[in-house]
Structure 1
């Protein structure tokens, strides 16, 4: 199986279920197709069970799973079930953000750096431990192993300058055509430098719902044409906020005297995303809204939903670390696998 980082992935196994919903999905994928009813509408939209079930169904559109029939990707019954899960998840996102169409205020707010800062990168820079840093890498691996891939879904849904400019940003994300410089490859190198597994989705069973929900949001926005504005808003939010955070992460890794491969992933983003910020704001969003002004509230929603889920992940990480506990689901297995 060819990987997003330019190499070849090992066998990708189905994840361990986290409740009856994900158990039903995993069980169905391991057998012939089924008409089993799964009650997504009554599930916690941010909970472990629905989150891993939705991620499992989305993964069929990426690399898939070993011993799972590729035809499942477009199975009508599974798509119907995925639609139920998406309806619950999307409804929860909309109900937890303010909405509106004040795009300029949302974009301006992304540029504000609060002093003193209290986020994850601030904590890791000032007094984070090496174990906390590696936990953070495990959380982010669910996304960075497929970095840029969720955003690529929106390319055929854009036109003109918006399309061309977003492709220009994606070209950088994919290393400017050089496999060893793709951001997903750089993150795999980071994991190697940290003494961790760089295999695709190696830590999926260890990572709780908050980090996985972010990836689900990207996949959902990208796979639905009706959510193209939200995907653009999300992508802009990610590009605008990455550079200052990446700078702090590079400083944190310097303080911890980490392998240079760990810092390289972040130093690459400091310069690249500072340029991407301007392209996304002026050429992608500006052109899109010139063509389709009715999408302004959707772009706002994408920005706000990204902030909501990033805040939920940060709250989980910081509350876990402040209480002296692991932020991962399987601390013992993870520590033994890395240090044993």
Structure 2
């Protein structure tokens, strides 16, 4: 994995630094992030989101030619923390204050949150009208997550106990194919990407996707890499599982309409059934049990779910608005063609 292209002065400075020996970064970089920027939009900020993604990837598989010691370089962590603070403020502004919740209220609160979600129906558009090139764009956008599907939420396993931990492991075991490579969801997604003629290497399309796509991924890493956000990470996963089954049915039907083979559509078909089961496990056995064990974290579960839904709305709107205007949703055109 080569380092991504920079998208502004902050990401350029960090990416340039990562190419050398680990060392202290200039303090003025952090100062730029903590300065008052009340008029900006961190979720759509290309410089901020690629900066966060670059830093977060040091905790996953790393970058080619980058010394692993950068992962825990104090000055880089300070810089990342300042970027995270801007991202978090934007999320809190986006979703509003969390309601006061008792532990026993959490499953119903999640159900109500999903029921009230008024995001654009990207999956319906893809099922009915998306062209093959638009479906390829959609898969390119999603590849940043799906090539490492489940990894961000796995960070929560050692931070839990009891029923919540068992429930999360049950979900994650399915995501990882029960230990069988050919059944891992990331591998099933590669089959779809391969049929579409796309590069199937891990993180192959990071440079092509916009900030809003990176934000959907950075949100998971923000919650996953901080123990204090373990409740939010569970809420995030619950929101994904609760809003997955029907959209994946639509994606599968859309790909079949475009000539997709059974191997190409298997990823989406697998999620229709699996996530219908995961929804109940995530809502009650995972989030409900977690809130019962740690009632002071109940609001965090809601915040994680609300943030997931809100960022997904922005992502879906970006794709639909781009296609309606007759332009690509990507930053750069796709090279591969079937």
Q: Deviations over 1:167-220 (max 9, x none)?
A: 110000000110111111111111111111101111110000111101101011
Equivalent residue in structure 2 for 1:34, among 24, 34, 59: 24
CA RMSD of aligned residues (A): 1.6
Q: For residue 124 of structure 2, what is the aligned residue in structure 1?
A: 122
Asked if residue 19 in structure 1 is aligned to residue 12 in structure 2, the reply is no
Where in structure 2 are there 5+ consecutive unaligned residues?
Answer: none
SS of corresponding position for 1:205: helix
- Residues 189 and 88 of structure 1, relative CA distance in 2, 3 Å threshold: same
Shift of 1:261: 2.5
Native 8 Å contact 2:113 2:306 kept in 1: no
Superposition pairs of residues 82-97 of structure 1, within 5 angstroms: 82-97=80-95
CA distance in 1, matches of 2:263, 2:50: 30
Q: Deviations over 1:267-299 (max 9, x none)?
A: 010111111111111111111111111111111
Q: Say which is worse superposed, 318-327 or 74-83, in terms of deviation.
A: 74-83
Equivalent residue in structure 2 for 1:273, among 272, 275, 278: 275
Shift of 1:113: 9.0
Where in structure 1 are there 5+ consecutive unaligned residues?
Answer: 1-11
Q: Deviations over 1:245-269 (max 9, x none)?
A: 0011111111111233321110010
Native 8 Å contact 2:159 2:227 kept in 1: yes
CA distance in 2, matches of 1:264, 1:111: 27
Give the TM-score, by structure 1 length. Answer: 0.91
CA distance in 2, matches of 1:88, 1:118: 26
CA distance in 2, matches of 1:148, 1:330: 27
Native 8 Å contact 1:111 1:240 kept in 2: no
Q: For residue 159 of structure 1, what is the aligned residue in structure 2?
A: 161
Equivalent residue in structure 2 for 1:322, among 314, 324, 327: 324
CA distance in 1, matches of 2:47, 2:254: 33
Give the TM-score, by structure 2 length. Answer: 0.92
Q: Deviations over 1:40-78 (max 9, x none)?
A: 234642200000000000000011011100111111111
Native 8 Å contact 1:289 1:296 kept in 2: yes
Q: For residue 6 of structure 1, what is the aligned residue in structure 2?
A: none
Q: For residue 57 of structure 2, what is the aligned residue in structure 1?
A: 59
Q: Say which is worse superposed, 94-103 or 275-284, in terms of deviation.
A: 94-103
CA distance in 2, matches of 1:77, 1:210: 26
Shift of 1:106: 3.5
Corresponding residue pairs, total: 323
Q: Deviations over 1:128-175 (max 9, x none)?
A: 111110000010001111110000111111110100110110000000
